[in-house]
Amino acid sequence: MSKLISIKNVSVSFRDHIALHNISIDIRKGAFVSVIGPNGAGKTTLLTVINGLGRILSGTVEVFGRKARPLNINKIRKRIGYVPQQMAVDPRSPVSVKEAVSIGRFGIIGLLGKWTDSDEQKVENALDKVGISRLSEKPVGHLSGGEHQKVSIARALAQEPEIILFDEPTSNLDPKAQNDIIKLIERIYSEKKYTIIFVTHILSHIPHSCTDVVLMKKGRIVKSGNADDMLEQKILSELYDFPMQVSIVHGKKHFHAGHFHTGHSGRGDGNV
């Protein structure tokens, strides 16, 4: 399969703090890559490097076979959907759900471009696919966290991207809303149209269809490989500097942070 993203020896610094140390990684077309690692590991910075929002100190980033440069970065970015970590929305915002999703199309046609029936249809399709058509006239300031996350996903889909970046899409959501979002992402991936990069802290949210896992720590990629090989007790404990237990129930991996007692409760310190 062809390489869609190729990052070579990339470093990023914020003043004197190095957020990415000379990282290299190739991502092939059609992959579902989960990126995991402790807070501050550089996961979000890696996403910003891929979509050209982050300024790199050294190294090269190639996306769709083109070296990302200031001149072509906007063209590249149009082909990448970005679902950022949940942001606070002003509850007084008058922008409707449909308008918020339309921003994904305006990014493609340009603010001065002509809005056509086809753009309208793409927005309707995105709302429908994510299951929020009934909310289309509602102001975004009145949405719940889970609904708002769906708006961000619909906006990315309306763009008809080839790559979608998800940055902790389930943070701050209740368990049902988390499950809805994960199922939605799996459904989107199953259409076989997209390459997905998915940052998460919740290991149990890594879907079965995930093809690769990238482990980041202190600005470095410490390991990467197929999901099953990476999601192992020893590897995860080293990654988080914390004991991690992995158990398999009905063929599915479950993760527990902390020491796992097999006594009465049979519970670890927390499920992740």
Ligand X SMILES: Nc1ncnc2c1ncn2[C@@H]1O[C@H](COP(=O)(O)OP(=O)(O)OP(=O)(O)O)[C@@H](O)[C@H]1O
Please check whether residue 221 is in contact with residue 10, taking contact to mean a CB–CB distance below 8 angstroms: no
Q: Which does 262 bind (CB under 5 to 8 A by kind): Mg ion, ligand X, none?
A: none
Q: Which does 39 bind (CB under 5 to 8 A by kind): Mg ion, ligand X, none?
A: ligand X
Closest by CA position to 78, among listed 95, 66, 89, 96: 66
List the interface residues with Mg ion, window 30-49 (CB under 5 A). 43-44
Q: Which does 5 bind (CB under 5 to 8 A by kind): ligand X, Mg ion, none?
A: none
47 vs 100 by CB, closer to ligand X: 47
The residue nearest Mg ion at its CB is 44
Q: How far is the CB of 216 from ligand X (least distance, A)?
A: 6
Q: How far is the CB of 128 from ligand X (least distance, A)?
A: 31
Q: Which chain residues interact with ligand X by CB under 6 A?
A: 14, 17, 19, 37, 39-45
Q: Which does 136 bind (CB under 5 to 8 A by kind): Mg ion, ligand X, none?
A: none
Q: How far is the CB of 140 from ligand X (least distance, A)?
A: 23
Q: Which does 207 bind (CB under 5 to 8 A by kind): Mg ion, ligand X, none?
A: none
102 vs 178 by CB, closer to Mg ion: 178
Please check whether residue 157 is in contact with residue 82, taking contact to mean a CB–CB distance below 8 angstroms: no
Provide the binding-site residues for Mg ion, judged by CB under 5 A.
43-44
